[in-house]
Structures are given as C-alpha cells and as structure tokens.
Amino acid sequence: GDSVTQMEGPVTLSEEAFLTINCTYTATGYPSLFWYVQYPGEGLQLLLKATKADDKGSNKGFEATYRKETTSFHLEKGSVQVSDSAVYFCALIGPSFQKLVFGTGTRLLVSP
C-alpha cells in the first residue's frame, strides 16, 4: 500500500539556520503530496502542496518540490524562526482520492 517515510526527529536548529526535512514516498500511480504543520495543542494546518511531478509548493518561506524520479518531497526553508517550532507531517493522497497517508512527523525545535 501507499506509504510515507520521514526523517526521525527532533531536528534542533538555531534561528536563521537552513532547514531540510526529508520525505520519501511509495505509491501507486501519481499521488498528490502535502506538508502539514501541527503546533502544540492544535490540529493540522496545510503548509504547502504539489499535485504533479516537478511542481514546487511554497508558503511562508517553506518550499518543497515533487520529485518523481526519486519519489521525494523534501521540505526546505532558508532561514528558520523560533515560531517555526512545531511538528511537520509529510502526506500523500492517491489518484483515487481514498485517504491521506501521513508520515510519522518530524519535530522541529528552533532556539534563539
């Protein structure tokens, strides 16, 4: 079945550092890919998405590019802030619109 693999956390960075959170997937056909963010005590917020190969999703300084050849959708940000501290989930949904399949989440901790 479809699956998503994320790098283990926590990822600990200093403010203004460069962020990469790796995400790879296994899916039948061509899924749509998402990054969601969860702040403490809250639900999931859609951060960005890409629906076809080579698409680049971007939002609030975060970017991710849909790489079909490497089945990856790595999340990047050039300069993180303390307010970016949260748990980040990579997810996919297949072309038959069945369900969102999530990775295990990566906790990001940014210190001043």
Partner 1 sequence: KAGVTQTPRYLIKTRGQQVTLSCSPISGHRSVSWYQQTPGQGLQFLFEYFSETQRNKGNFPGRFSGRQFSNSRSEMNVSTLELGDSALYLCASSSSPGAYTNYGYTFGSGTRLTVV
Amino acid at site 31? P
Q: How near is the Cβ of 99 to partner 1 at its closest, in Å?
A: 4
Residue 51 interacts with partner 1 (CB under 8 A): yes or no: yes
Q: How far apart are alpha carbons 21 and 107 in whole angstroms? A: 10
Q: How near is the Cβ of 51 to partner 1 at its closest, in Å?
A: 5
Contact yes or no for 49/64 (Cβ under 8 A) = no
Binding positions for partner 1, 58-97, rule CB under 8 A: 89, 93, 97
Q: How near is the Cβ of 17 to partner 1 at its closest, in Å?
A: 27
Residue 31 interacts with partner 1 (CB under 8 A): yes or no: no
Which residues, 6 or more positions from 70, have their beta carbon under 8 angstroms from its beta carbon?
Answer: 24
Residue 40 interacts with partner 1 (CB under 8 A): yes or no: no
Cα 22 off chain centre by: 8
Residue 106 interacts with partner 1 (CB under 8 A): yes or no: no
